Amino acid sequence: QTVVTQEPSLTVSPGGTVTLTCASSTGAVTSDYYPNWFQQKPGQAPRTLIYSTNNKHSWTPARFSGSLLGGKAALTLSGVQPEDEAEYYCLLYYGGVYVFGTGTKVTVL
């Protein structure tokens, strides 16, 4: 069974920078996994931030960026705002099926 692993929690100061990663149990993540990143706040549906590694949706704030880093997909938040406190999930494509990451709780403190 494929497992996609993210950091359980990260804490960042307002205005700071934090990088979340997304690792696959099958090996290195490449652009062929079409990494998507989502933000979810309590009681809300997920909201798409990044698709296909590093592409932003029209509503994605400029401070969010996606990349591949050391064999993982990565989401970087630069100039973090208090409203960025949320759960973040990655999603990878495995040739017909998709697997979500375990999620990262980002705390802005």
Q: Nearest-CA neighbor of 33 among 72, 87, 70?
A: 72
Q: Which is nearer to other proteins, 78 or 100 (CB)?
A: 100
Q: Which is nearer to other proteins, 11 or 55 (CB)?
A: 55
Q: Which is nearer to other proteins, 80 or 91 (CB)?
A: 91
Binding-site ranges for other proteins (CB under 8 A): 1, 31, 34, 36, 38, 40, 45-48, 51-52, 55, 57, 87, 89, 91, 93, 96-103
- In the numeric block, the tokens 């359980």 are attached to 8
* Cα 15 from Cα 63, distance rounded (Å): 10
